[in-house]
Structure 1
């Protein structure tokens, strides 16, 4: 056990607020996506998986709240390892699914006819399964290294054990920053292409309903990356990152509270009516 401080109280309070807000919002959004929207829509499929990723993050938060509120971790190394990996998986899977949503909107606006055979629910589910499989495969070597590190330190430290993280000495540490940067660039390019298309091509622009909502989706995606995903992903590249990592993890966890806004702006009448079949 180590002494709890005012900072730890802030951390516990932040995670608690995210849990209270994020869990019900994503649970309701997931229910609506499953029951009121067509699974033939690729955007709906990606949002279902995004909501699942956020719910998994929310479920892991009570253990972080307990740790920072009490300063103790009674569940051992394996449980600590598991909870840490759930958090990392949320950032990785969420960033991928948010990018998929951007690319799907890009195809719908810029290449509506050429992309019709690609943009369907079956392909979207295949892509989602591949994403989860890759995330799980990445977990294996990363979990082994993290578990070795946890076993070499005080068991009660758990989430405060960042100073000797093995990822600092491993090429794996570059995986998440590179992934997030690449996906951010894809979102930036998608945003620019859609914006140019809507401005230059009047005929295409006229066919796109709710153009403001379309651009809001892209702006929200860019905001998610720059505020929630990028800082916590890049900080581990610095040698002395231990002081900044926990505040940035608190910030990153807030992403699951904003994703339901993405669902709302992506579908007209999201909370009221059932979406017709199709991939629009």
Structure 2
């Protein structure tokens, strides 16, 4: 019994001692961009759709805003507050569209950035500076219109050109201060599949207090402007409606209704373009403060960011259409250019026709080309063909670029 007891003691003493509380095994963080492998699973169709979308924005936005700048330029001699704010807004839209070609190449390569960290930071800085400069100048325009109609005497000093110049400089400096922290953050990230991403949200996941920073950016860059714009334009619409009821001549002319329609259109475009992106960013950052979202939530947020950023960037493309319907000078200049092109085409067609052929025969009936109605119908048809041809050429050119890059 004693020997058996000694053998039992020796056997148990040779076994390793185990703790009564087992050590828990660490679990990987599923929201880390290095461990989450589904963030860019949508790149196969995004590499075609997103470059095509941004090519259209680039062509339409650059041409439309360049034309707007051409219309505003003669008015700079007799500059007022509205002209100065509009010129800065157009310049910010042009600079924004000029930053798009590199983003088009990036998306066409399947979220791959081969140009290095420095150039990624520069393009990202240009991208965000001009996006939020446009937002702030739209806000300044709404306040300017509000003062001009509702409070023309009390705050008239804010509409003096000398003061507006300082305000414009202050807007650019404010936006620069808001976006300069991007330079201190890593904007590129090598992914497990071998491609390098640029200016994507998962690249900022490791930045300390990123949730607080982005929530503050949403309130300053979108919350304050959207409340200001909607408040100013709502009061402005009420004022115009009351003045139209008080003055029957104004009501009959329809100017108040047109002004209210333009105001509603500007407000709607702003809300539709900018709200989805900032609301999406805000809700994810709030969730991030409460708990750690998993990989599926991060992937859904990443995909939604790509779509909402496209919608936000559409604003620079829609601004020229608002100018066309709201600004008489812009509409007159566009129609004048189109008529000039039509008249050149028509005169060249007349010069190349045989001498004395002022009549043409269609289906056995003689048509006088020098009649007013015929000339007008020919001008309309030529204009339609020119516009259709221009759009067709832009689409073919865009598809050719996308196919060449993705090949």
TM-score relative to the length of structure 1: 0.85
Alignment of 1:149-188 (within 5 A): 149-150=187-188, 156-159=195-198, 161-166=200-205, 169-170=209-210, 171-179=212-220, 180-188=222-230
Question: How many residues of Structure 1 are paired with residues of Structure 2 in the alignment?
Answer: 270
**How far did residue 232 of structure 1 move?**
1.5
Q: Equivalent of 2:242, from 187, 197, 200?
A: 200
**How far did residue 162 of structure 1 move?**
2.3
Alignment of 1:67 with 2:106, yes or no, is yes
Alignment of 1:21 with 2:60, yes or no, is yes
The Cα offsets for residues 201-245 of structure 1, whole Å up to 9 and x where unpaired, read as 426995999323432342233223311112212322315321211
Q: Which of 114-123 and 183-192 deviates more? A: 114-123
Query: 2:96·2:131 contact (CA, 8 Å) conserved in 1?
Result: no
Structure 1: distance between partners of 2:324 and 2:153? 25
Q: Equivalent of 2:255, from 210, 220, 233?
A: 210
Query: What secondary structure is seen at the aligned counterpart in 2 of 1:75?
Result: coil
Structure 2: distance between partners of 1:200 and 1:55? 38
Query: What secondary structure is seen at the aligned counterpart in 2 of 1:114?
Result: coil
Query: What secondary structure is seen at the aligned counterpart in 1 of 2:153?
Result: coil
Query: 1:46·1:97 contact (CA, 8 Å) conserved in 2?
Result: yes
Change (3 A) 1:210 1:38: farther
Structure 2: distance between partners of 1:25 and 1:121? 26
Query: 2:187·2:199 contact (CA, 8 Å) conserved in 1?
Result: no
Alignment of 1:255-274 (within 5 A): 255-272=315-332
Aligned to 2:72: 33
| Structure 2, gaps ≥5 residues long | 1-39, 289-297, 334-407
Q: Equivalent of 1:105, from 131, 135, 145?
A: 145
Aligned to 1:81: 121
Change (3 A) 1:252 1:47: same
**Structure with more contact order per residue of length (Cα contacts < 8 Å, sep ≥ 6):** 1
Aligned to 1:92: 132
Query: What secondary structure is seen at the aligned counterpart in 2 of 1:118?
Result: helix
Change (3 A) 1:205 1:140: farther
Q: Which of 97-106 and 203-212 deviates more? A: 203-212
Query: What secondary structure is seen at the aligned counterpart in 1 of 2:328?
Result: coil
TM-score relative to the length of structure 2: 0.60
**How far did residue 28 of structure 1 move?**
1.2
| Structure 1, gaps ≥5 residues long | 274-280
Structure 1: distance between partners of 2:155 and 2:254? 18
**How far did residue 137 of structure 1 move?**
1.8
**How far did residue 25 of structure 1 move?**
0.7
Structure 1: distance between partners of 2:249 and 2:114? 58
Query: 1:42·1:124 contact (CA, 8 Å) conserved in 2?
Result: yes
Query: 2:61·2:317 contact (CA, 8 Å) conserved in 1?
Result: yes
Aligned to 2:271: 226
Q: Could you say which structure has the larger radius of gyration?
A: 2
Query: What secondary structure is seen at the aligned counterpart in 2 of 1:158?
Result: strand
Query: 2:150·2:239 contact (CA, 8 Å) conserved in 1?
Result: yes
Task: Give the aligned CA root-mean-square deviation in angstroms.
Answer: 2.9
Structure 2: distance between partners of 1:98 and 1:33? 16
Q: Which of 82-91 and 17-26 deviates more? A: 82-91
